[in-house]
Amino acid sequence: MALTIAPCPFCGSEHLHIHHNGLSHCVVCESCKTCGPHSPALENAIGHWNQARRPTSTPDPADLHPMAGLWATGHG
């Protein structure tokens, strides 16, 4: 049975992978490095990731951090 993994709840990226540490699994976003909840069962780790709240709109980068606007424009 194939499991579908939802895009990252923080950045919307679909560039994801499953991290295994021997005892647990978690979904990791390769774009923003967010790591989902760890779970001994792969299906549960993916389920928790898929249930994470997603933003209803894309935030303006300047709203994320006071310096983000400077970084985005190259003035920082």
pLDDT tens digits, the chain, 76 residues: what are they? 568 999 999 889 999 999 998 899 999 999 999 999 999 999 999 999 999 876 666 666 656 555 544 444 444 4
pLDDT at 53: 75
pLDDT at 3: 82
pLDDT at 46: 95
Q: Which residues contact 50 (CB under 8 A, 6 or more apart)?
A: 4, 5, 6
Domain boundaries, the chain: 1-53
Q: Which residues pair with 46 in a beta bridge?
A: none
Give the pairing type, strands 16-20 and 25-29: antiparallel
Backbone angles phi, psi at 45, to 5 degrees: -60, -45
pLDDT at 60: 64
